[in-house]
Structures are given as C-alpha cells and as structure tokens.
Amino acid sequence: MSNRQPEARLQGLWSDLVPVGAPEGLVASRGTVLGRIRFTDAPAEATLDDATPLLTTHMANEHVRPVEEIWRTALPVRTGVAGDAVFAEDGEHVFYAVRLGPQPVYRSPVRELYENALRFTWERGYTDLVRMWNLIGGITSPNADGLEIYRDFCIGRAEAFAAFADRFPQLPAATGIGTLSPGVDVCFLATKPGRAVHLENPRQTPAYKYPSQYGPKSPSFARATFLKDVGAPGSGTGSLFVSGTASILGDDTVHVDNVALQTEETLRNIEALVGGDNLRAHGLDGAGYDVKDLDQVKVYVRDAEHLPVVRNICESTLPADTDISYFNVAVCRPDLLVEIEGVCR
C-alpha cells in the first residue's frame, strides 16, 4: 500500500490495492468505501457486500496474487442497486459496477449496458465521466460471428456513446483489458460537473480516431482524465487518471515481439502524457508530472514468462514505494504484450 503524499488522501477520491483477505489493520484507511474491485480466480455478479459495491473479476492465476482495489472518499456514502448494477454515491462522486455474462455477440448487450450506465449517471447529476474500466473475457478471441470480441465490444460501446453524444460529448480515461473468464465486467467513476479535463497523448492518435483496420468502430476513450480537487482554484490541484497505455505510436503497435522495448515505450508514452507540456496543451496550468509520479499502478502482462522482465523495468523506473500490481491477462491487440495504467497526484 502506498503512503506517498498522505495529504492528497484527504481530498476527493483515492484508492488502495491490497491483497484479498488482508488483515484489517492493513486495509484500514481514512474515509468511507465508495467501491471495490476484486481481482480474483473467478468472476461473480456485481453485489453489495458489507453494504458497499463489489465487482469481482477473474484476473488472478497462479502467476499473480489476488488483490482488491478499494476506492474511498472523505464524504458519507449512500449505496444501492440499479438493475444488474450496484453503485455508491457521496454527492460529489459515484462508483457504478456491473457484470455482463458470456454472450454469443456482445454488441447489443454492451450497448444496453452502457446506455443504462450513462442514463443512470446523467440522471443523478454525475455528468463528468472520470474513469472507466472494461474487463473483457476472451478479448482477442472470436465471437459467434467470427468477429474479435474486443472489436464486437467496441461497436456496442461506440453506439451507446453516440446515442448520448448530446450529454457526454467527451470521452473519459479508460482501460480495455482481458480477463480469464468469458463475460464483461465494467465499472466507472464519475463526478458532479466542472472537475474533469480529458487529455490526449501527443505521441498517439486519439483512440476514437483509430482507422478501421483496428475494428468497425474505434475505441471510445481518452488517454487520461485530470480530476480537479473539490474547491481548488483554477486548474488547481487534483489527480490525473492515466488510461491503460501500451506500446502504440500513432496508431501502430511498435516493438512487436519485444516485451522489454514495449514496456519502455509504454513508460515513455506515459511520460509524454503526464508531462507539463501536455497538461498546458490541454489548458491545465502547473508543472505536470513525471512517470515517477505514477502510483496505484496496474501492469497487465499477456505472457506469464514475461512477468519478470516487465517487473524489472517497472521497478527500476518507478520509486520503491510505488503501489504496483501485476496481472497475467491478454491485451486488446494480439501484438501488444503489456499495458500499464495508474494515477498521478
């Protein structure tokens, strides 16, 4: 568990990644729980557990330890159920989580899932989408029609965002990553309006503009979202939520078949994304961040045999007190071997 910048933890939203079944003392932290994501050895329906939303996804195997991500806020929380989804809100933030079981074709059920989610958050006034996670079983396998499941998923998601384009004209930071069981687990964080600024990466084509060689509908996400702290003046202080980032330059996968170079390129992509020049290019003042400021890091590695080399590079690049968790799951293009996300504060 990271203890960097404890004062930042009194503001807004923060998370910890802890081993599943950790003793109380390790889990104890200031604030109230907004939501939890359990990365474990089997999926389960999203539920209220201990009166808080819990998403359970199959992302642990014999190569990585099961972990739980716990999102907290400083404000009192109200929780509930909305159809198949569970949620928690504190008046400033909402966490929403839902599981879609295995489908022959994902397009229509994903569209419906996303439309329900977008309608829900809009109606409650949490109109700034901040961060979405799309955890997709069999991500690079074919659906019943022979279309790759990630491409199938992207069609339904894009259709939902198109239907809500008047209310959500801008896309938030996201992750699209594989899991180890069929089905799709989705969760997101959103806030009341006026706090989120979405960023692109100068080294990468915006994902929503990827050419059709990567699928009939481009992926619907931004490279990062800056969330201003409540009440901060100007662009003020806040947190920068970095999307799942891979070894992509422009729209091309680079360093095919070289996991070390892919990991280093991914970290350079993050460096360019979070730096002061890119923040200022998006109207944010302040010094920006360094890749070393990335915390609450999740590293997704396709092949278990690559875990040691990826760990080595991450641990030699990031400070020793960085909170990093590793997952052995597929990435959304067969030629991508690694994907990295995190939060800068």
Residue number with the smallest Cβ distance to ligand 3EB: 176
Q: Is residue 100 close enough to count as binding ligand 3EB by CB under 6 A?
A: no
263 binds ligand 3EB (CB under 6 A): no
- Residue 94 found at the interface with ligand 3EB (CB under 6 A): no
Q: Which of 189, 207, 230, 330 binds ligand 3EB (CB under 6 A)?
A: 207
Q: Is 215 in the site for ligand 3EB (CB under 6 A)?
A: no
Q: Which is nearer to ligand 3EB, 187 or 248 (CB)?
A: 248
Q: How far is CA 201 from CA 30, 206, 243, 266, in A?
A: 34, 7, 11, 12
- 11 lies in the binding site for ligand 3EB (CB under 6 A): no
Which of 199, 332, 337, 344 binds ligand 3EB (CB under 6 A)? It is: 332
Q: Is 305 a catalytic site residue?
A: no
CA distance linking residue 60 with residue 146, whole number of Å = 27
Q: Considering only residues 13, 97, 100, 174, which one is a binding residue for ligand 3EB as defined by CB under 6 A?
A: 174
Q: How far is the CB of 306 from ligand 3EB (least distance, A)?
A: 17
Residue 152: enclosing H or E segment and its boundaries? helix 149-163
Give Cβ neighbours of residue 22 (< 8 Å, ≥ 6 apart): 68
* 8-state DSSP, 51: T
With tokens 């590079």, the residue in question is 313
- Asked if 179 interacts with ligand 3EB (CB under 6 A), we say no
Residues noted as catalytic: 339
Interaction site with ligand 3EB (CB under 6 A): 134, 174-176, 207, 219, 221, 243-244, 246, 248, 332
